[in-house]
Structure 1
């Protein structure tokens, strides 16, 4: 795995085409995570599956850091930030979603999971104000959510409100993701691999003891498919994805980075059309167009239109 250059090492204005391409890659990697998780938890309990995910991904990134001749920060204050980032970006949301999706139907879960940009926008507008948010981003946030509903199907909205506790857990997870995208800006002076590895290792330290106590992993008999899903999730949808994530937070901002939550849905639809022979309904086409327009409004600065 080759390292990605830090924002400080590049020009002050990153190439937007590159960043948008990386945003698409990130959306694809995290979109694939749902399939990995679905296969993995068939024979591995969710808590142990998540703990293993953070352990393997963190270990991979630590090995890459050592291979590059670097070392993780030793400042205690930095590690406290890594710990908080781990709680916001992995420990709490991973656990909440894994628990909630035992009862929440897929359509409602997908729509609720796509609300991260809304919370990132509101937190930025009302609390942090760390980056410019105007009517273009607000319109993009709403267009993206509307497009997501059209793609998944408006009938999925009917399921929202039936299991308030579980659906509330998913919403809380999306709030955590929004907070993580905003808090991630404190690592601006670090190579993106450092907060990615540090937060994952902190997440492992929190999750692994609970997994050992609750699930007793040594008594499990995971299937080969579950183990392969765990490997794919850890390497691609976690280790690589986290490095891309922290880079994008610094280059395009926290609110635009959360736009990948919308991109996951049309990517999944496209995979179904290309590989499974599924057909595109008119509402899906309209939804995909709305998502693309919404993401563009959230990520492309107004001054760059010329």
Structure 2
């Protein structure tokens, strides 16, 4: 078999929503894995290893299925752009941010991805109509982010503030990636997942060798286990599901898992890491959930 293109088998909406919930769970858990991993592994090296393991695993599965990666330059150029938007920049920003903020807070801030996806769509791509409901959702989401970051953000940019800004930048990158991912709708979902991971590894591994000198590191067993779990489940498996849902639910639809991810990610951080959230952050969480839901839930058909 010499082609990466494949048609999506017809499935019910319930099945696609089940996949959406699975993706939310996998990505909700990723923030705890990252928090544990960067305790003893520097962010750049941690994320470089993540892309290598996930990309290698996906490549092996593709070969076992008899599917080859594309060979034309145009596709690989697109995969490199997707890698920057969907792995290199957001992965690194999130890992760095979680050296400064809790995993639960990172989950909430990263849930703003649909807001950025909508704003990019409205301001640049314009392939979706601007409705009052979506505008309301955007306002609610931005208000929630302000509550989460707190009034202290107005008095100075401390280390926590930079971590929060890094998380928002990662969310912006994810929003752009969800829209750009439409370029791969004609491919088997594993192909852009593997290709973007491998492109990310090509970028991140040399950077890791220069910045962190990983051969000098002494990571803990906990960090190594977190790295493996993150790479296999929250990256390789999650991105296969992600690219399938981009094809079946669309860019805004697939980013809607962000509000499902909030209670999952926050709950894992509270239960396993003993984290807590300030009262204003809980209120901000509610605003973000309402905002993202207003933007992402399908409109009712008339009649």
- TM-score, structure 2 normalization: 0.83
- Residue from 60, 65, 85 that aligns with 1:63: 60
CA distance, structure 1, for counterparts of residue 270 and residue 211 of structure 2: 41
- Residue from 84, 93, 97 that aligns with 1:96: 93
- Between stretches 22-31 and 257-266, larger displacement belongs to 257-266
Work out whether residues 140 and 296 of structure 1, in 8 Å CA contact, stay in contact via their aligned partners in 2: yes
**Cα gap change, 1:147/1:166 in structure 2, threshold over 3 Å: closer, same or farther?**
closer
- The one-character-per-residue Cα deviations of 1:149-188 (angstroms, maximum 9, x if unpaired) are 8xxxx56523444425544333222211111010000111
CA distance, structure 2, for counterparts of residue 293 and residue 214 of structure 1: 41
- Between stretches 15-24 and 266-275, larger displacement belongs to 266-275
**Cα gap change, 1:295/1:10 in structure 2, threshold over 3 Å: closer, same or farther?**
farther
Structure 1 residue 94: deviation in Å?
1.7
Structure 1 residue 282: deviation in Å?
11
Work out whether residues 121 and 138 of structure 1, in 8 Å CA contact, stay in contact via their aligned partners in 2: no
CA distance, structure 1, for counterparts of residue 83 and residue 247 of structure 2: 18
- TM-score, structure 1 normalization: 0.82
Work out whether residues 28 and 261 of structure 2, in 8 Å CA contact, stay in contact via their aligned partners in 1: yes
Give the structure 2 partner of residue 199 of structure 1.
Answer: 196
Structure 1 residue 33: deviation in Å?
0.8
- Residue from 128, 133, 157 that aligns with 1:131: 128
Give the structure 1 partner of residue 150 of structure 2.
Answer: 157
CA distance, structure 2, for counterparts of residue 63 and residue 224 of structure 1: 26
Q: Structure 2: any 5+ residue segments left out of the alignment?
A: none
Say how many residue pairs are matched.
Answer: 295
1:210 aligns to 2:207 (yes or no): yes
Give the structure 2 partner of residue 180 of structure 1.
Answer: 177
Give the structure 2 partner of residue 118 of structure 1.
Answer: 115
CA distance, structure 2, for counterparts of residue 147 and residue 22 of structure 1: 27
- The one-character-per-residue Cα deviations of 1:114-157 (angstroms, maximum 9, x if unpaired) are 322111101111210223442333444555666788xxxx5652
- Between stretches 177-186 and 251-260, larger displacement belongs to 251-260
Give the structure 1 partner of residue 167 of structure 2.
Answer: 170
Structure 1 residue 191: deviation in Å?
0.8
SS at match of 1:302: coil
Q: Structure 1: any 5+ residue segments left out of the alignment?
A: none
Give the structure 2 partner of residue 82 of structure 1.
Answer: 79
- Residue from 246, 254, 265 that aligns with 2:251: 254
Structure 1 residue 229: deviation in Å?
0.5
Structure 1 residue 243: deviation in Å?
1.0
